[in-house]
Structure 1
């Protein structure tokens, strides 16, 4: 049965493009620290002493891409179940304990990982570790119809109805990405296919828990008003005593995504659609698969279609008045390669065929004429600055480091990001865009249409 991919979870996964840190002097003063507990749990400490607050995150190296055939949605369902009941924590009590301590919490599931976090005053960090260690080891999963697994399975089914099946754009995206990632682990939906989620059993949950929720498969990230030694002491007390399951062998289902071998058109009509939208999805890359290419592509796509100052927007929206919106995006934050896409919404009276012709004519023109050095410099500096500003968000930094490390990245790569993106040349950015949108490349075209299918 064909599977598909959509985003899911209680929060969205952090994209790499807005990641990381500052210049060498600030990095030296900030000094992120890394160590590993004896049971294999990795630990990263990101000191930030501006306020007596900490963000505590546990990242498990398992996501939708790791699910067994026919078990789609179990990684996301498990995220929900983790908030229910353990041997020492009553139903719904986990959330109330964090909130009674003045904290906030959430979790999210992606294709490559599952993450849980709490943000609390510094003095409650030990309690947060105690809570996370408890649900790492003693989660209750049983056949009780009123228990956590069965009730949350119903919650996830309703979430799919609300977030996906009632959203025409999400349904179209699901169809497109299922074709783009056909026979690849990312083809499996994060939120899960309805019939497969409905068929998940408590025993499926127990097997999943035993295999993946073990310290050697986890990364602890603590950002905030702490030192590495403070975190080490608490981590050894609460997490270091947990025995590894021995079931985690470190292998993942990742594999390179092949090039599209044919051009396709996918359409989706719905009465909820008020404005048609045109898309083209091409083979792109990822930061893990080809970092230099991904950096150059990110810069080039931003010049081409990254917002109101981009070349496509200025030409098609401001000057020619053929579109009310146009832009580009790419999935570069996954472990494996994702698509790079162009999209546009036509102005009243403009058909999708006319819009497509105009957009691709401009793409071709800009690839032939090349980019201005000034545009490249502006985008490079903006991306580098955004990564530096990200340090202002304690949660953002914890997310950035956790997401990157969970797919096999390194701290050094994060620290060097501002310099690396500033080193992208005009020629490299242009070459990346030309490579992706070359005339001989196949693509998936997608049309989101009103119910009557009018263009």
Structure 2
């Protein structure tokens, strides 16, 4: 890679893609396994299965019972977890280098034999865990369902990205053991996965271990249903605005803008535009709403990159004092229109590119972050080596390209809008609501 990291690729006979990157700076190794399955692959009535399976993958396999995966990794001095998104599910361990073989064996054992341990008891147990996670992170915290609401408006009913990975309570309750078994057989196969190993490794020995533990796992020989959402077909009556009265500390204006697909130059331009407009206290929206107007206490604008559907620009502003959502929304519109008319200044472009460069290099500085990016580019774009040139592409975007994206996409007719109004109860108890910690797998 651009920072001096090497990449080698192999593909097993069963279709598992393997990406190795050798780096002897520190005596650790990261294992990252991406499965090409996320909430976009779920069907109506069975939302939340991809995320539920993330939890089930830690509940035992043929050779590892119960919580053994966690216990073995942590006893060896490693760390681990898993996450689920619209487009993928990933599992990862960072281990002392001499414990790398253990991590590979553990991942192979659950890829090849999870169904041997998956029963009704483990399904019911993790179903309860996921439902509790939904309550703690979404249903019972201020603004907790905001992203879910905005996504449902941005992607109309029937679109594969219409629902978020957490799923609905009703669908989680409806999921059967047979549903879970079918889901695993369809998506948890070596020919639907990419394995990246990064760090203090010897590539030949590492690949030999991968071949030893993963090579005998059979490929999935059926077809997986396509779930591409690049095109949005919006019914004329599809709602694009929602007002919520709820127990929240203050009024809020949140917006979601469909933007270019990840992997395109326009997506990089959109990333820079949103960084200039809403990332940090030097951004345009923060300066306007928080510093100048004093109508908001927060103002941010970030990009959720999506490869199989339009990326989403997520704007979030919480009002200050008696400021109205109408006043805040009008100020947002003025700032976006001014940016589209004028484009970024040279200083703004330089600052935004430096910020993205710093964030990217910080990510690649860890073996876990680097392994995750190699998997991402392999699964979503077909080539892990694209991670090598990702930063150069962002740094090559011009002010004119950023302005063109703003003019085309950051407009009032290309967004979903969600506003919040505190209920009387919330106003009486303002300051007493605490957001819960994130529940991990």
TM-score, structure 1 length as denominator?
A: 0.87
> For residues 425 and 408 of structure 2, what CA distance do their matches in structure 1 show?
33
Q: Are the counterparts in 1 of residues 59 and 65 from structure 2 also a CA contact under 8 Å? A: yes
Question: Does 2:145 match 1:171?
Answer: yes
Determine whether 1:101 maps to 2:76.
Answer: yes
Match of 2:417 among 439, 445, 450: 445
Q: Identify if the C-alpha distance between structure 1 residues 189 and 341 changes in structure 2 by more than 3 Å, giving closer, same or farther.
A: closer
**2:78 touches 2:96 (CA, 8 Å); kept in 1?**
yes
What is aligned with 2:100?
125
1:227 corresponds in structure 2 to 202
Secondary structure class of the residue paired with 2:161? helix
Which residue of 47, 55, 58 maps to 1:72?
A: 47
Following superposition, the deviation at residue 263 of structure 1 comes to: 6.7
| TM-score normalized by the length of structure 2 | 0.90
Tell me the SS of whatever aligns to 1:153.
helix
Q: In structure 2, do the counterparts of structure 1 residues 96 and 233 end up closer, same or farther at CA, with 3 Å as the change threshold?
A: same
CA RMSD of the aligned region, Å? 2.2
By how many angstroms is 1:75 displaced?
Answer: 1.2
> Is the 8 Å Cα contact of residues 143 and 150 (structure 1) preserved in structure 2?
no
Contact 2:48–2:165 (CA<8 Å) still a contact in 1? yes
Aligned 8 A contact 1:380 1:424 in 2: no
Secondary structure at the residue paired with 1:435? helix
Say whether the 8 Å CA contact 1:178–1:187 is kept in structure 2: yes
Residues in 2 aligned to 1:50 and 1:257: alpha-carbon distance in whole angstroms: 44
Gap regions ≥5 residues in structure 2: 428-441
Separation in 1 of the partners of 2:114 and 2:210? 20
| Residue aligning to 2:438 | none
Q: In 2, distance between residues paired with 1:82 and 1:356?
A: 44
Number of residue equivalences? 424
Q: 1:239 to 1:93 in 2, by over 3 A?
A: same
Counterpart check, 1:372 vs 2:322:
no
Measured against aligned partners, the alpha-carbon deviations of 1:200-237 in whole angstroms (never above 9, x if no partner) come to: 11111111111211111111111110132222111111
- Measure the CA separation in 1 of the matches of 2:119 and 2:301: 48
Preserved CA contact (<8 Å) 2:153 2:240: no
1:414 and 2:387 are equivalent in the alignment: yes
Distance in 1, matches of 2:118 and 2:224, equals 30
**Residue ranges of structure 1 left out of the alignment (5+ in a row):** 1-20
> How far apart in 1 are the matches of 2:78 and 2:414?
49
User: Which residue pairs with 2:436 in the alignment?
Assistant: none
Aligned counterpart, 1:269: 245
Answer yes or no: is 1:319 the counterpart of 2:295.
no
The 5 Å alignment of 1:418-429 reads 418-429=391-402
Which of 168, 185, 188 in structure 1 is aligned with 2:160? 185
Q: Distance in 2 between matches of 1:356 and 1:255?
A: 29
